[in-house]
Structure 1
């Protein structure tokens, strides 16, 4: 039986590098009354329309990204980041134009300053015509089109793209900018936030005014739908010939709203591409936005995070993470100067010795990771009769301990490859090992971390517990 093809999405828009410089702040500059930030971590991420493409890619949808870049190192970094995240690129390159970069300095989880490196591109009519012809070819090869407008110049006149895409039966979603939305006339859906919407139609003093102006704008622009994102008030969808629908915001500690709009439009695109009705797609996008605002900087939502938030995951516990989700949490912890501790084991039939060991390990830092041998891994090490408790049960019990931050499973006999990926600040093992015997210890030490050996409580072991159970059942 032929498998159905996966719908393909094209993202056109203003692309940029988001650069983060993160460090500690302990004093005020003697030169002027500003904080001195001692930078200890730097990171470049995909920004603008590139972040939209990243969010789509993380939902495992084929995506092509096009936008304007210069002939410079930042363009090379964009290409490399896109390649590593399975994003196909068709960049427009312009000599004399510097790829846009936004630099954020962050300390104690607060933005200290943002520095923008950008200039308006000089897109002459001949080049604009060439770009439009190139983008039309990309439209032909894709099923859904996203225009991510950051008002930087690449989408200054999107009408030719909208009209061509609609004439080919393509769904066109636009994240708009500016005080004139007439340039988006004829789109399938636009997604302004409240501020952007009021910048076009004027202040809305109450719900009734907002609803009336929204429907008026939708009709004037000949849109199939208009979605207004309203922060703590959620989102409201206005569709042709249908009553407005409001999706309440999900309660969430807001850590950083950077890139939340990117996640919304990306989630809408992936859901619509999969055939999800628009109201349901908005509901899912609303949940995704509540996840991403809990992360630092422009970020993305994983399928695992989304499934769990929607109540569709069979994950045994909210602290039992896949390797990808774990690495994301570790990255955030390290950016906040939080110490990551890691240990591993089978933990079959959890007993007092295990609990005491994990409590001592957790005291060595802010977050304790337990790398847990999968059932297949335990069988290879201890034989076919083990484990007594399956991996889901063991993971759930471990994740329920207050001393444990995250649990993750591994299939190998040792967690060496996982340790090398995580590179914890502290690697913990029982004192019956020497440092030389501990898998991954060299990688941790070479990275500036340390290895700690902890004594077990005498008289407690899983083997003894099993022997006692067997003898008592005879």
Structure 2
């Protein structure tokens, strides 16, 4: 059991990056069963074959979601009541590999119970979420904040974000690492230096009192108001199925981030979004990239089944590299697709190839030749577009999940690392034995070709442009 003020941990990951999550931990309980008739006593469904499942909730759920990400060690600074639900919560967090630093000295643990049937919530009832008595901030918490690659605050309105010493430590931590703040109407405003605040639309409405339309314009106006009122660098209002809107300057244009369709249990989607945003910022990416990755991750989380799924669906983001992404997809039974080439001067033929390749599996990793490799293959005047820009352009395509750059003239080495289930080439290779086929087939993969668009060639296009320039 966690001692107040002291850490406990599951599996140690000494070489992992550190994410510190600060917030209110709850115990979530789902009572699920079948409901195919109404009670004779009242017009209420009768739940049959009911079973109860407990899991960490609030900031505890965010910590569990973060701990599922390879390469990250997660510490949760929270308060947990000294009661049976608190004891159960500690066990669940320890089993998930989350280190816990508990500030509570007594009190009861909030429990949120949902009664569900047919993937729908019929009833929810909560125990009182009174603020827990909290002790002083221990040195272990200060140490973890100093070690963190990123800090995430998940405020659930139970009082921990009002802790004076903790707020001072968060302000200090925000000086040289990204701090993401997920606020709550009953909680405290973000501390100074917060890189990104991520209120949802209802929370933004509560904090601003701005009663404008509940649409993109209204959410943008509320984000601008919060940016002016809070000591934060950027504000992203999350909009559920409509994605998010990010504001970085009160006088600038907002960044609208649409979401893909999602259907499923949305409980915890905001936590997944906040976790992904914090990890992406820790990777050195811009807040615009972080919010785009976070919206995608939250969508995948919902589509995978929400909190009841064994793990959130892997989705490309800046929190993992292409090899780690491929391993995650393969571990959950997905198919990894690979495609390769120079992709110099991206054109419609490339887009057609990549779009068809992505449909063959669950993730598409594109392997591209480095600049030096392209020069050896194509000549001293190539590539026209450098490898970093080529990789960025490919990564921006919806059909491309990640990009690998290889320095060799042929992709055998990178293929041996990626080990795709399917290796895709353009239809101009049809009828020929592809050089790397033996290698791909050695681990049970297959090589296929897809139809290609006639009349699209980078070399031909460059020659045409050169002739046009010479004619002038």
Do they superpose with TM above 0.5? yes
Are 2:144 and 1:138 aligned?
A: yes
1:206-221 equivalence runs, <5 A: 207-221=216-230
Q: Secondary structure at the match of 2:37?
A: strand
How far has the Cα of 1:389 moved from its partner? 9.1
What does residue 198 of structure 1 align with? 205
The 3-state SS of whatever aligns with 1:27 is: coil
1:75 offset after TM fit, Å? Answer: 2.3
Say which of 7, 11, 23 aligns to 2:17: 7
Q: What is the aligned counterpart of 2:185 among 158, 178, 181?
A: 178
SS of the aligned residue for 2:259 comes to: coil
Work out which of the residue numbers 98, 101, 118 in structure 2 matches 1:90: 101
Give TM-score scaled by structure 1 length.
Answer: 0.60
1:228: how far off?
Answer: 0.8
Going from structure 1 to structure 2, the CA distance change for 1:93 and 1:220 (only over 3 Å counts) comes to closer
Q: Any idea what the Cα deviations from partners look like across 1:75-106, whole Å, max 9, x if unmatched?
A: 232222222222111122433x1222111111
Which residue of 2 is the match for residue 292 of structure 1?
A: 301
Contact 1:162 1:184 in 2 (8 A): yes
Structure 1's 132 and 228: CA in aligned 2 closer, same or farther, altered over 3 A?
A: farther
Equivalences, count = 324
TM-score (norm 2): 0.60
Q: After TM superposition, give the deviation of residue 304 of structure 1 in Å.
A: 6.1
- CA-CA distance at 1:177 after TM superposition: 0.9
Which residue of the partner structure matches residue 262 of structure 1?
271
* Cα pair distance change 1:122/1:93, threshold 3 Å: closer
User: Using the alignment, how far apart are the partners of 1:89 and 1:267 within structure 2?
Assistant: 20
Residue deviations 1:11-51 (CA, integer Å, cap 9, x gap) = 01110111111111232223332111113433211211011
- Root-mean-square deviation over aligned CA pairs: 3.7
Correspondence 1:202-281 to 2 at 5 A: 202-205=210-213, 207-240=216-249, 243-252=253-262, 254-281=263-290
> Structure 1's 16 and 324: CA in aligned 2 closer, same or farther, altered over 3 A?
farther
Q: Which residues of 2 match residues 23-422 of structure 1 at below 5 A?
A: 23-60=33-70, 61-95=72-106, 97-123=107-133, 127=134, 130-131=136-137, 135-157=141-163, 159-166=167-174, 168-178=175-185, 182=189, 184-201=191-208, 202-205=210-213, 207-240=216-249, 243-252=253-262, 254-298=263-307, 305-307=314-316, 322=330, 324=332, 391-393=444-446
| 2:303 alignment partner, SS class | coil
In the alignment, the residues of structure 2 paired with residue 151 and residue 220 of structure 1 have an alpha-carbon distance, to the nearest angstrom, of 20
Cα pair distance change 1:80/1:324, threshold 3 Å: farther
Matched, 1:17 2:27: yes
Distance 1:182 1:153, change over 3 A: closer
Structure 1 residues 215 and 106, CA gap change in structure 2 (3 angstroms): same
Distance 1:194 1:135 in 2: 31
Residues of 2 paired with 1:203 and 1:299: CA distance?
35
Deviations for 1:62-87, whole angstroms, at most 9, x for unmatched residues? 11012111223322322222222221
CA distance in 1, matches of 2:186, 2:154: 16
Q: Does structure 2 retain, via aligned residues, the 8 Å contact 1:54–1:300?
A: no
Unpaired runs of 5+ residues, structure 1, are 327-373, 375-387, 397-474
Per-residue CA distance 1:271-314 (angstroms, 9 max, x = gap) = 1122222211211111111112224453579586213999x979
